[in-house]
């Protein structure tokens, strides 16, 4: 038996006017003649984004959803090169504290981040690497400001292949030594759908002590013909042995056979169940992040579909046991 908790990403299809990623471009920022007024506007947007994060957490609580990914676009222009001295976290203290108080009352709640694809840790370009570190520091600051232990709260991809996957993997190992220990502890790695397979990512995770977030859809889209994820599942589980958190995975369905890598609006319950049948009993709990265009509606639809299967017993509105 395994307990499965479902979560979704950043936005709700049900809570109106609650975007956690309202933004301002640098072009818009530059058109405001008074620079201090422009910065205050950025701060108001960031506060609004955090307030909407709290609205979404409360919405989730009402539906027993205890797993949620925050938007990584909460603070617009946080790392822009033209704003190097902007102390963007200070004005957000109250909004972050409000989230902290909510999470403190709900200690079983799991939240995390997935920084955008421009966070590249295995390149040789120092400017890109330094900007990636700045972005990770921003995530670390947000987590700490919300009273969340940053350990294993940010999932990232390995990075670029640069036409030589083995060399790119070794470059990741080299660059890992340039990352501070607090940021290292924050990270998890995910297999991707074009460059780094499950086995490639496992190589890094085992060598460096990083938990692996298994993306089932990505594996189906990108793997070597001789590689079967089932053969590596025990190794995936083992990468989580030192984490305080349950093992985590991503679940999504292809939009179509022609556009296989793109995420569908909803999750195919039969595809998900096929995965669960193979891993049930191997872990006491697994948290499954739904990456579907319909966000929380995709979660609600998946729950309705899963209730048709006799081997599944729901514990609450968003978690169940598979036997």
CB neighbour list of residue 145: distance below 8 Å, 6 or more residues apart? 89, 92, 93, 96, 97, 100
Mean pLDDT of 244-260: 97
Average pLDDT, the chain: 97
pLDDT, residue 226, reads: 87
Q: Using an 8 Å Cβ cutoff, are 122 and 156 in contact?
A: no
pLDDT, residue 49, reads: 98
Q: Please give the Cα distance from 141 to 147 (Å, whole number).
A: 10
Q: What is the largest CA-CA distance in the chain?
A: 64
Helices 269-279 and 295-306, packing angle to 10 deg: 70
Mean pLDDT of 257-272: 97
pLDDT, residue 266, reads: 98
pLDDT, residue 147, reads: 97
- With vertex at residue 71, the alpha carbon angle to CA 222 and CA 14, rounded to the nearest 5 degrees, is 100
Q: Please give the Cα distance from 50 to 29 (Å, whole number).
A: 20
C-alpha closest to that of 145 among 120, 111, 190, 118: 111
Q: Please give the Cα distance from 15 to 189 (Å, whole number).
A: 31
CB neighbour list of residue 97: distance below 8 Å, 6 or more residues apart? 145, 147
In tens, the pLDDT along 310-319 reads 999 999 999 9
Beta bridge partners, 7, equal 289
Residue owning tokens 């539906």: 63
C-alpha closest to that of 210 among 261, 175, 167, 253: 175
H-type alpha helices, the chain: 26-30, 35-62, 93-105, 126-145, 165-176, 181-186, 198-208, 216-221, 229-238, 269-279, 295-306
- Alpha carbon 98 to its chain centroid, in Å, reads 22
Q: Using an 8 Å Cβ cutoff, are 49 and 74 in contact?
A: yes
Backbone angles phi, psi at 279, to 5 degrees: -110, -5
Q: Using an 8 Å Cβ cutoff, are 188 and 248 in contact?
A: yes
pLDDT, residue 60, reads: 98
C-alpha closest to that of 211 among 251, 168, 243: 243
Q: Please give the Cα distance from 25 to 83 (Å, whole number).
A: 13
pLDDT, residue 33, reads: 93
Q: Please give the Cα distance from 103 to 86 (Å, whole number).
A: 28
Tokens for 67, please give them.
Answer: 């797993």
In tens, the pLDDT along 92-149 reads 999 999 999 999 999 999 999 999 889 999 999 999 999 999 999 999 999 999 999 9
Q: Please give the Cα distance from 60 to 318 (Å, whole number).
A: 9
Please state the pTM of the whole predicted model: 0.96
Kind and range of the H or E element at 261? none
In tens, the pLDDT along 42-78 reads 999 999 999 999 999 999 999 999 999 999 999 999 9
The full set of domains in the chain, from first to last, is 2-322 (3.20.20.150)
pLDDT bucket at 3, cuts 50 / 70 / 90 = very high
Q: Does residue 225 carry a pLDDT above 90?
A: no
Which of 73-77, 183-187, 223-227, 239-243 shows the lowest mean pLDDT across its residues? 223-227
């Amino acid at each position: 038996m395994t307990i499965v908790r479902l979560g979704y990403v950043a936005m709700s299809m049900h809570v109106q006017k609650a975007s956690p990623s309202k933004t301002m471009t640098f072009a818009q920022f530059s058109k405001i003649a008074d620079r201090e007024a422009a910065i205050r506007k950025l701060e108001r947007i960031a506060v609004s984004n955090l307030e909407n994060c709290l609205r979404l957490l409360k919405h989730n609580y009402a539906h027993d959803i205890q797993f949620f990914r925050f938007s990584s676009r909460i603070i617009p222009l946080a790392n822009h090169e033209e704003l190097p001295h902007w102390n963007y976290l200070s004005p957000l203290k109250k909004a972050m504290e409000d989230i902290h108080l909510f999470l403190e009352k709900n200690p079983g709640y799991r939240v995390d981040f997935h920084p955008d694809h421009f966070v590249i840790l295995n390149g040789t370009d120092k400017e890109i690497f330094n900007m990636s570190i700045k972005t990770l520091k921003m995530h670390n600051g947000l987590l700490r400001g919300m009273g969340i232990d940053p350990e294993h709260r940010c999932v990232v991809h390995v990075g670029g292949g640069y036409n030589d996957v083995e060399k790119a993997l070794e470059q990741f190992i080299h660059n890992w030594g340039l990352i501070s220990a607090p940021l290292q502890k924050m990270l998890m790695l995910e297999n991707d759908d074009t460059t780094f397979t499950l086995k490639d990512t496992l190589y890094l995770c085992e060598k460096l002590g990083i938990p692996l977030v298994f993306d089932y859809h990505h594996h189906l889209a990108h793997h070597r013909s001789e590689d079967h994820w089932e053969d590596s599942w025990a190794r995936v589980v083992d990468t989580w042995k030192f984490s305080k958190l349950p093992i985590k995975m991503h679940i999504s369905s292809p939009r179509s056979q022609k556009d296989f890598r793109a995420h569908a609006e909803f999750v195919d319950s039969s595809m998900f169940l096929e995965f669960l049948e193979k891993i049930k009993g191997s872990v006491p709990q697994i948290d499954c992040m739904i990456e579907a265009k319909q966000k929380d509606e995709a979660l609600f639809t998946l729950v309705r579909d899963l209730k048709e299967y006799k081997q599944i017993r729901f514990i609450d509105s968003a978690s169940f046991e598979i036997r």
